[in-house]
Chains A and B, each alone.
Chain A
Amino acid sequence: MSMSKGGMPIPGDYFTMGNFACVEGAILAGCRLYAGYPITPSSEIFERASVRFPQVGGNAIEMEDELGSMAALVGGSFAGAKVMTATSGPGFSLMMENIGLAYMMEAPCVLVNVQRAGPSTGVPTLVGQGDMMQAKWGSHGDLETIAYSPSSVQEFFDLTIQAFNSAEKFRTPVFVMADQVVGMMWEKLHIPPAEEIEVVDRQVMEPASKLDKEHPLFDYARDFLPMPIAGMGSRVNVDSLTHDSRGYPSTDHDVSEILNRHLMGKIKNHEKEIWRWEESNLDDAEVAVVSYGSAARSALAAVKNARAKGIKAGLLRLITPWPFPDEIVEKLSRKVSGLVVAEVNYGQMIHPVRENSRCPVVGANWAPGALIEPRAIVDAMQAVVAE
């Protein structure tokens, strides 16, 4: 059943792949430029975008590599488009430098990382969640990050739209940290009518002719600033160097402090409205699993199995791993006697969980290119209860 008949996505129920659902979500969010370099297991996103984007008046271009892809997103963003790319671990590594550029220039863009098993080129076709820390700390300098982690085909669609809305509002690169299981999984997808979908568009800067000459280009006292768009009459003076309110490079400490505080603050000051999480069986839980993405589905099965064994288990699913919902985890850690962090890596999000917890925290980690099994998570729950 065609989801589009060659135009905008048609509302209805479909049985489709996560990677395809991502593209339809991007189209509904208003994205019209895809720049990328194909890589398993994200390639279906590029493949579908290259068919679908031209059908809705957009473009999908194959760049020479992931450095170029990310640079094209920054350029496309300042040309006024909503832009995206999709990649996996090796490509994500190559994008890091220009992710910093997008962050510094405040260029809204969406990067989908369909994570596979690593390190290096690893196991290209199999699942991993090994890029969670890279999403936060991969680019140099201090960056605040917004990242979403889908656990189902429906959520991959929904969170792709949400990622664009956050990118536009916060004028920053936003990550959708999917993984091979969710990206290549087929499930039911409900596409709602377009009028039921909230779409956020960036504020665009007034043409220079309409602004007072003394008016600073960027008022860093405010969190959300209008964006200068090329060809719209505004001065597009954007720089990767630390810059002042006119956009000019500066080595002044005050300028540096103001800019860095602005870039981090616009996310940090609003993190509570960004945080998204889902709780299952936490009301009477004595032990809780913290998980995200496809691993969270394994964790939910583990919670049910543990309850069948008489362990009062619950699940906190992080829909936004970044910014890290520290207060939510801290509150939970005061209620339960132990936390298990289940991930398809050898221990990444366990670090912020542990940093914010007041109870013992253990990891359930398995990342040989396969989804962690519920029984390994149940074992970890039993271990933490015994501690």
Chain B
Amino acid sequence: MKFEARITGLGGQGAITAGHVFGTAAALHEGKEVVVTEGYSPYVTGGWSRADVVISDEPIDYPLVSKLDALVTMYQEGLDINLKMVKPSGIIIAEQRLVDLSRVVGDKRVFAIPAASVAESLGKKVLMNIIMLGSMVALASPHTLEPLKKAVTERFPKAAELNVKALEAGVALASQAKQGGIEKLV
């Protein structure tokens, strides 16, 4: 089993943090082999950033992603640039408000998640990344959900409850998106 995901956004949205939390969950709480690599543009805030996560039952040689099982994007170019990397059987989790999905209407791999507005309703905009992560794991790697709760609790000990709530909100949004489909959302 090999699973490859890219979580991408703009500097400050927490794409890389989400990747670390996901990787920690799989490595330490599921006992998998995991490599997380990260990249960012050379700007302080607002440039692109991404975390790439490879999870495997076997030791990982080539550490980078090549074909994505899951793409999470919180900005427009994140979809435009990375769409071609997603496997036919992969999924794409796009933030509904920040990504225009008109070009992928009918693509059954795409799920629009209103993570930004739900994060606001939970009282903290910075929860968007964790909500997106919850949605992605619910759709693509559901067995990682419990390990993920442990990992966010360790990563954010002072805001553990809120982050677990954000994960659960992501799971609920994923299930709605799955039933509703993208056609109804855009």
User: Which of these binds chain A: B30-38, B73-81, B90-98?
Assistant: B30-38
User: Which of these binds chain B: A197-205, A228-236, A294-302, A318-326?
Assistant: A294-302
- Render A172-187 as a binary contact track against B, CB cut-off 8 A, 1 for contact: 0000000001001111
Q: When chains A and B are docked, how far (Å) is the Cα of A186 from the Cα of B62?
A: 14
Q: From known contacts A1-B28, A15-B24, infer whether A125 and B63 are also in contact, taking CB-CB under 8 Å.
A: no
Nearest-neighbour CB distance to chain B for A98, whole angstroms, equals 27
Q: From known contacts A1-B154, A181-B37, infer whether A297 and B63 are also in contact, taking CB-CB under 8 Å.
A: yes
Find chain B residues with CB under 8 A from A188 CB.
27-28, 33-34
Nearest-neighbour CB distance to chain A for B65, whole angstroms, equals 11
B23, A15: Cβ atoms closer than 8 Å? yes
Q: When chains A and B are docked, how far (Å) is the Cα of A339 from the Cα of B186?
A: 55
**A11-43 interface (Cβ within 8 A of B):** 13-15, 40
A186, B61: Cβ atoms closer than 8 Å? no
Find chain B residues with CB under 8 A from A86 CB.
none
Nearest-neighbour CB distance to chain A for B15, whole angstroms, equals 14
Q: When chains A and B are docked, how far (Å) is the Cα of A300 from the Cα of B27?
A: 22
Q: For residue A1, which residue of chain B has the nearest CB? A: B154
Q: For residue B53, which residue of chain A has the nearest CB? A: A186
Q: When chains A and B are docked, how far (Å) is the Cα of A184 from the Cα of B40?
A: 11
Q: From known contacts A188-B27, A297-B61, A298-B62, infer whether A15 and B34 are also in contact, taking CB-CB under 8 Å.
A: yes
**Max count, chain B CB within 10 A of own CB: residue among A15, A126, A181, A374:** A15
Any A CB within 8 A of the CB of B88 = no
Q: When chains A and B are docked, how far (Å) is the Cα of A123 from the Cα of B154?
A: 34
Q: When chains A and B are docked, how far (Å) is the Cα of A81 from the Cα of B126?
A: 43
- Render B27-51 as a binary contact track against A, CB cut-off 8 A, 1 for contact: 1100001111111111000000000
Nearest-neighbour CB distance to chain B for A348, whole angstroms, equals 21
B27, A15: Cβ atoms closer than 8 Å? yes
B34, A297: Cβ atoms closer than 8 Å? no
The contact of A40 among B27, B33, B42, B154, by CB within 8 Å, is B42
**B5-34 interface (Cβ within 8 A of A):** 19-20, 23-24, 27-28, 33-34
Q: From known contacts A13-B28, A15-B27, infer whether A184 and B62 are also in contact, taking CB-CB under 8 Å.
A: no
Chain B: interface secondary structure?
Answer: mixed
Find chain B residues with CB under 8 A from A371 CB.
62-64
Nearest-neighbour CB distance to chain A for B81, whole angstroms, equals 14
Any B CB within 8 A of the CB of A52 = no
Q: From known contacts A184-B37, A186-B23, infer whether A294 and B42 are also in contact, taking CB-CB under 8 Å.
A: no
Q: For residue A371, which residue of chain B has the nearest CB? A: B64
Q: For residue B20, which residue of chain A has the nearest CB? A: A186
Nearest-neighbour CB distance to chain B for A121, whole angstroms, equals 9
**A338-387 interface (Cβ within 8 A of B):** 371, 373-374
Any B CB within 8 A of the CB of A124 = yes
Find chain A residues with CB under 8 A from B63 CB.
181, 185, 294, 297, 371
Nearest-neighbour CB distance to chain B for A252, whole angstroms, equals 51
A300, B61: Cβ atoms closer than 8 Å? yes
A185, B36: Cβ atoms closer than 8 Å? yes
- Render A88-128 as a binary contact track against B, CB cut-off 8 A, 1 for contact: 00000000000000000000000000000000000111100
Any B CB within 8 A of the CB of A304 = yes
Find chain A residues with CB under 8 A from B64 CB.
181, 371
Q: When chains A and B are docked, how far (Å) is the Cα of A186 from the Cα of B52?
A: 10
Find chain B residues with CB under 8 A from A14 CB.
28
**A277-297 interface (Cβ within 8 A of B):** 294, 297
Nearest-neighbour CB distance to chain B for A109, whole angstroms, equals 29
B42, A304: Cβ atoms closer than 8 Å? no
Nearest-neighbour CB distance to chain B for A150, whole angstroms, equals 13
Find chain B residues with CB under 8 A from A184 CB.
37-38
Nearest-neighbour CB distance to chain A for B121, whole angstroms, equals 31
B23, A185: Cβ atoms closer than 8 Å? no
Q: When chains A and B are docked, how far (Å) is the Cα of A304 from the Cα of B2?
A: 16
Find chain B residues with CB under 8 A from A124 CB.
42
New A-B contacts (6) at CB < 8 Å, excluding given A181-B64, A186-B35, A188-B33: A186-B23, A188-B27, A298-B61, A298-B62, A300-B61, A374-B62
Which A-B residue pairs are the 9 nearest by beta carbons? A301-B62, A186-B36, A300-B61, A301-B61, A15-B27, A15-B24, A124-B42, A297-B61, A185-B37
B residues whose Cβ falls under 8 Å from a Cβ of A? 19-20, 23-24, 27-28, 33-42, 60-64, 66, 154
Q: Mind listing 17 A-B residue pairs with CB under 8 Å?
A: A1-B28, A14-B28, A15-B20, A15-B27, A40-B42, A185-B63, A186-B19, A186-B34, A187-B27, A188-B27, A188-B28, A294-B63, A300-B62, A301-B61, A301-B62, A304-B61, A371-B64
